[in-house]
Amino acid sequence: MRQPLAPSGLDPAWRLQQRRGVYVLQADPLTRFDWLVHGFSTTPGGVSLLAGRQVLNLGYTEWDSPHRVAQNRRRFLAALGADDWPLVTLRQIHSDLVHTVTATPRTPARGDAQISRTPGLLLAVGTADCVPILLVDPERRAVAAVHAGWRGTLRRVVAKTVGRMQMEFGSQPANLLAALGPAIGACCYEVGPEVAAAFAAQFSCAEAWFAGPFGELAAGEDPTPLPWLTMAPPGHTPPPKRVRLDLIAANRWQLEETGVRPENIYSSGLCTACCSEWLFSYRRERSRTGRLLGVVGIQAG
């Protein structure tokens, strides 16, 4: 199948690079550092087979063979010009655990954020709807890769990562650049009352990140009338009320709170659930889907 030239909705500050049939998304402002390697993968151009399509699955999922995933990873790294770089991944657990990486670990650590100043390592975050965030400190030559789904966002994983960069590397938030890769958008990300209530308890401004009956759900009032009150016939009860969450907005807010300048935060503008030609979405494909990778690293020498 022929791919369109670029995913519609891609932010003008971003570009799609094609090399040997693999397409990599990059935030333009991060490409001006010659010592930096970064990019977010897309689905075309791989050797894995999913729903009759050849895709670039970069995660070790049940439906795919490790051999194919390894081959896809090699293609992705080659497209980035980082062929021989070790890929440092995490066993992601929707936590706020931040790891400082100085060497390739023998087995992936459990956690959801990595920071490093060591050249020659490629920090990776795997996603299929959650927000992949890359942080770059040009002054201290430090980088970070963060995984923020709703649980990680609730635990302020990106703000804690900035805090760790300050503490360990002396990074000033005002110097940081942040690239927020493709994630499920406010257009598609329906969540239930438990998520609304959890955010309301943690953030006084949470309402700004939700569309729908946030107030009612957050207050624990079920806005869905019970079936015997509506006299709905059995099996025809209305579905429970939902709200839609804007994870990008919530993470952008956290970054700004820590002191990252709004003009240094770049979001791809792409929704994983909308953009089926280019991106994997756990929500859209109901678990049988691939994984995208966002990676960042420092050139040696």
Instruction: Output b/e per residue, 160-197; b: 16+ Cβ within 10 A.
Output: bbbebbbeebebebebbbbbbbbbbbbebbebebebbb
Enumerate residues 261-280 that contact Zn ion by CB under 5 A. Answer: 271, 273-274
Give the residue with the Cβ less far from Zn ion, 128 or 200: 128
Least distance between Zn ion and beta carbon 18 (Å): 24
Contact 116, 137 (CB under 8 A): no
> What do you get for the CA distance between the two ends of the chain, in Å?
41
Least distance between Zn ion and beta carbon 150 (Å): 15
Least distance between Zn ion and beta carbon 22 (Å): 24
The token pair that represents 213 in the structure block: 């009956």
Nearest 5°: the CA angle 244, 246, 247 is 125
Q: Where are the beta strands (DSSP E) in 67-106?
A: 87-88, 90-91, 98-100
Separation CA 13–CA 66 (nearest Å): 35
Please pick, from the candidates 185, 193, 269, 294, the single residue that binds Zn ion as defined by CB under 5 A. 185
Site string for Zn ion, 216-255 (x = CB under 5 A): ----------------------------------------
Give the residue with the Cβ less far from Zn ion, 187 or 300: 187
Least distance between Zn ion and beta carbon 26 (Å): 22
Would you count residue 208 as binding Zn ion (CB under 5 A)? no
Give the residue with the Cβ less far from Zn ion, 101 or 279: 279
Least distance between Zn ion and beta carbon 287 (Å): 18
Give the residue with the Cβ less far from Zn ion, 247 or 255: 247
Would you count residue 188 as binding Zn ion (CB under 5 A)? yes
Least distance between Zn ion and beta carbon 248 (Å): 11
Separation CA 250–CA 286 (nearest Å): 24
Give the residue with the Cβ less far from Zn ion, 25 or 124: 25
Rounded to 5 degrees, what are φ and ψ at 257?
-60, -35
Left (φ > 0), alpha (ψ -120 to 50) or beta: where does 170 sit? left
Give the count of residues interacting with Zn ion (CB under 5 A): 6
The token pair that represents 27 in the structure block: 């935030």
Least distance between Zn ion and beta carbon 268 (Å): 13
Residue 33 amino acid letter: F
270 CB burial (10 A radius; 0-12, 13-18, 19+): buried
Give the residue with the Cβ less far from Zn ion, 149 or 173: 149
Least distance between Zn ion and beta carbon 191 (Å): 14
Please pick, from the candidates 70, 187, 205, 219, the single residue that binds Zn ion as defined by CB under 5 A. 187
Would you count residue 10 as binding Zn ion (CB under 5 A)? no
Binding part of the chain for Zn ion, among 11-19, 79-87, 185-193, 213-221 by CB under 5 A, reads 185-193
Count the helices and strands in the chain (H runs, E runs): 8, 19
Separation CA 131–CA 151 (nearest Å): 11
Give the residue with the Cβ less far from Zn ion, 61 or 281: 281
Q: Which residues bind Zn ion (CB under 5 A)?
A: 185, 187-188, 271, 273-274
